[in-house]
Amino acid sequence: MTRMLIIGGSDAGISAALRMRELDAAVEITIVLADRFPNYSICGLPFFLSGEVTDWQHLAHRKAEDITSLGIQLLMNHWAESIDPMQKTVTVKAPDGATKFMGYDKLILGTGGTSVNPPIQGLDLPGVYPLRWMADSFAVQQHLTDRSPQHAVIIGAGYIGLEMADALTLRGLSVTLIQRSSSILKTIDPTLSQLVADELTKHGVEVVTDVDIDRIESIDKRLLVADSMGFQRVTDLVIVAVGVSPATQLAQTAGVSLSVNSAIQVNRSMETNLPDIYAAGDCVETYHRILGRNIYLPLGTTAHKQGRVAGENALGGHRKFQGSLGTQVVKIFEVAAARTGLRDDEAIAAGLRPLTVETDVWHHKAYYPGAHSLRIRVTGDRTSGRLLGAQIAGHYQGEVAKRIDIFATALFHDMKMDELNDLDLSYTPPLGSPWDAVQMAAQAWTKQCSEQAL
């Protein structure tokens, strides 16, 4: 019987196992994971901490018994320490400390990512937390319950930092959000991220930019957060959310090749440089569909897809990962912000000739009550007219996610900007317009591009 061994029980690992079971009812599948939370939604942690998700167990995509009922063995609280690719074994430490050697025919690495620890003194102080895994959320929840903090500082204004600012405000805390750069949410352009910053301020969040925190100190049972330029805040709780890096220590024990950013190098079949070893998820490079090369772009949606490809190919399949566009969306209070594809500066760096046009449009006919304005930035290539990317910000009821997904679909199929007008999109006055907001933004781009060409 073929032995399939998967290291990591999050999105990529579970997706690989499920795909293998779909294709082969007899193959032996074992998943080794370092905690006891297989297939939990890490993206849902802020909503558990806000109280919107009332029970952490609701974050499970599937219960452990749902997985094992499919004949998939789960070794929870087991730690994979090293790989011997010649002997095809993985050294695994059990909860009791005992070491065992697990053989495999095919191995899939889905070890995920780890929270980036910035060069800040005091990260190990009580009351200072990262937020990456279930255990992190339990620690924060216990602090909220036992200590009843009144104020929190969040270091990092990316997706997790923004969602935690929302979550902790809902919990009744005063929040200071600190970003090292000049604008928050760097995945979108400043004119859109300012809408998000305004929404945070509207709900009482103090937004601080251009501050590089370098130390956290304990003072009278509270925490002092400071930089070298005189900025200081005294707080009761600190969340550090400045990014993620690939977890590749295990891969390195086998001699798996890494990229310059230390992610595992894979091809589009999710194969590593070593025979019979695949990798997927936040630990690997991701093929970017527009750039035509690998970059590091950790996303849950991508991990699911890559895991599925790895699982199928480990069984002898020939599926290719079709690539990521970096499609993302986040909701902060009443505002949603989204992006897909390339921004203007990214397109320039790729050697393209981009034009970005910003448009404000109603999400449905303005005469019908409840219309919300959407700010859409569309990027296309001046020479070919090809769509390169899009960004949207506006009220979350303006169906920002729907609109960015239309752009993402168009990007996936390499459409030109003018071809967006040919899409047969739905319309009724309470939900849209005869020309959808996406199409109106594309028309504004085409008009400006033509005017500049004259």
pLDDT tens-place string over residues 138-168: 999 999 999 999 999 999 999 999 999 999 9
The pLDDT value recorded for residue 453 is 75
- Asked if residue 155 and residue 48 are part of one domain, the reply reads no
On whether residue 256 sits in a domain, the answer given is yes
Q: Is residue 5 within 8 Å of 107, Cβ to Cβ?
A: yes
Average pLDDT on 189-210 reads 97
Residue 234 clears pLDDT 90, i.e. is over it: yes
Average pLDDT on 399-416 reads 97
The pLDDT value recorded for residue 261 is 85
- Asked if residue 7 and residue 109 are part of one domain, the reply reads yes
Locate 359 and state its tokens: 């448009």
Residue 398 clears pLDDT 90, i.e. is over it: no
Cα–Cα dist 316/322, whole Å = 18
Cα–Cα dist 316/329, whole Å = 35
The pLDDT value recorded for residue 454 is 65
On whether residue 400 sits in a domain, the answer given is yes
State phi, psi for 305 to the nearest 5 degrees: -65, -45
Rounded percentage of the chain residues whose pLDDT exceeds 70: 100
Cα–Cα dist 409/86, whole Å = 43
The pLDDT value recorded for residue 48 is 96
Residue written as token pair 């199409």: 439
pLDDT tens-place string over residues 11-31: 999 999 999 999 999 999 999
- Asked if residue 233 and residue 155 are part of one domain, the reply reads yes
The pLDDT value recorded for residue 260 is 77
Locate 202 and state its tokens: 């509207």
Residue 262 clears pLDDT 70, i.e. is over it: yes
The pLDDT value recorded for residue 1 is 75
Domain-terminating residue out of 314, 345, 372: 314
> How many domains, the chain?
3
On whether residue 121 sits in a domain, the answer given is no
Closest residue by Cα to residue 13 from 103, 78, 134, 108: 108
Average pLDDT on 347-356 reads 96
Structure-derived torsion over alpha carbons of residues 76, 79, 83, 88, reported in degrees to the nearest 10: -30
pLDDT tens-place string over residues 319-332: 999 999 999 999 99
On whether residue 298 sits in a domain, the answer given is yes
Q: Is residue 176 within 8 Å of 154, Cβ to Cβ?
A: yes
CATH number at residue 42: 3.50.50.60
The pLDDT value recorded for residue 452 is 86
The pLDDT value recorded for residue 302 is 97
Range of 227's domain?
128-242
User: SS3 for 395?
Assistant: strand
Cα–Cα dist 143/145, whole Å = 5
Average pLDDT on 180-205 reads 97
- Asked if residue 227 and residue 162 are part of one domain, the reply reads yes
Cα–Cα dist 167/48, whole Å = 9
On whether residue 320 sits in a domain, the answer given is no
Q: Is residue 415 within 8 Å of 387, Cβ to Cβ?
A: yes
Locate 90 and state its tokens: 């993985």
Residue 381 clears pLDDT 90, i.e. is over it: yes
Rounded percentage of the chain residues whose pLDDT exceeds 90: 97
Average pLDDT, the chain: 96
